[in-house]
């Protein structure tokens, strides 16, 4: 009950809070920069984790290999999305030709340049993050199988 009340209070304050002029106002580009920094932060974390897994592997076997593939794909996905975010911020407003309700007719008019073609292709970012999630599932499932096997053998230490 208290938990729900707390969440409602938080939601109210977030949505309908009056302007607090006493504090600094964060403008439009700040959200974009914070988001990009979040991506970079995540990229750094993934690189760091991959380095750890390569240099000091906690274990060996298929699940670990799947985990490394998954992290690599997530890393590529983050790089891709970071670049796409960077490019979309630089697109001219007239590049998007929205049909006004019909998604079939929406077009993207881009200057004939490589980065804009990369933008278009990079927008298919789910082609990276979905396989990354799939390999993450495979990895975790493999760990589950191994852990279940260990459960059947008493006295065996987990990695």
Partner 1 sequence: MTDTITLPLLPIYLVDFFGSTLMIIMSAVACYYARRLLRLEPKNFLWTFFFWLTTTVMALAVSRSLWHLLRYIFILGGLNSVWRALSPYSGSVNTIAFCVAAAVVFYYHNTEKVVATVQRDAESLRQAHLKLAEAHTELHQLNLTLEERVEKRARELRLSEEKFRGFFEGSKDMIYFCDAAGRFCDINESGLRLLGIERREDLLGQPLAEFFLDRERGAQYRALLAAHGQVKDFEAEFVGREDGPLSLMITAATLTDRAGATQGYQGIAKDITHFKKMMEQLVHSEKMTSVGQLAAGVAHEINTPLGIILGYAQLLEEDFAEQTEVHETLTIIEKQAKICRRIVADLLNFSRQTLEHNKLYGDLNQCLEEVLAIVNHTLNMDHIFIHRCLAENLPKTCFDNERMRQVFVNLLTNAHHAIGSEGIIGVWSRWYEESGQIEIIIGDSGSGIPPDQLGRIFDPFYTTKGVGKGTGLGLSVSFGIIQDHNGRIEVKSPPLEPELVALDMHTTFHIFLPVIAEVPEKE
* SS3 category, 96: strand
Contacting partner 1 within 99-138 (CB under 8 A): 101, 103-104, 106-112, 116-117, 120, 123-127, 129-130, 133-134, 136-137
**Angle between the 126-152 and 62-88 helix axes, to the nearest 10 degrees?**
160
In this complex, which beta carbon is closest to partner 1, that of residue 18 or of residue 100?
100
- Compute the distance between CA of residue 8 and CA of residue 14 in angstroms, rounded to an integer: 10
* SS3 category, 5: helix
- Compute the distance between CA of residue 25 and CA of residue 95 in angstroms, rounded to an integer: 30
Contacting partner 1 within 2-61 (CB under 8 A): 31, 34-35, 37-39, 41-42, 44-46, 48-49, 52, 56, 58
What's the token pair of residue 39? 């991506």
Give residues in contact with partner 1 (CB under 8 A).
Answer: 31, 34-35, 37-39, 41-42, 44-46, 48-49, 52, 56, 58, 96-97, 101, 103-104, 106-112, 116-117, 120, 123-127, 129-130, 133-134, 136-137, 140-141, 143-144, 147-148, 150-151, 157-159
């Amino acid at each position: 009950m208290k938990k729900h009340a707390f969440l409602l209070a938080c939601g109210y304050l977030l949505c309908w809070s009056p302007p607090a002029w006493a504090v600094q106002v964060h403008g439009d580009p700040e959200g974009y920069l914070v988001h990009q920094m979040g991506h970079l932060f995540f990229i750094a974390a993934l690189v760091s984790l991959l380095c750890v897994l390569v240099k000091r592997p906690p274990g060996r076997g298929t699940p670990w290999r799947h985990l490394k593939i998954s992290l690599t794909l997530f890393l590529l996905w983050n790089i891709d999305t970071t670049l796409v975010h960077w490019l979309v911020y630089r697109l001219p407003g007239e590049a998007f030709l929205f049909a006004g309700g019909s998604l079939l007719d929406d077009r993207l008019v881009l200057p004939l340049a490589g980065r804009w073609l990369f933008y278009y292709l990079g927008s298919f970012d789910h082609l990276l993050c979905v396989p990354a999630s799939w390999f993450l599932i495979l990895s975790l499932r493999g760990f589950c199988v191994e852990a279940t096997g260990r459960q059947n053998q008493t006295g065996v230490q987990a990695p």
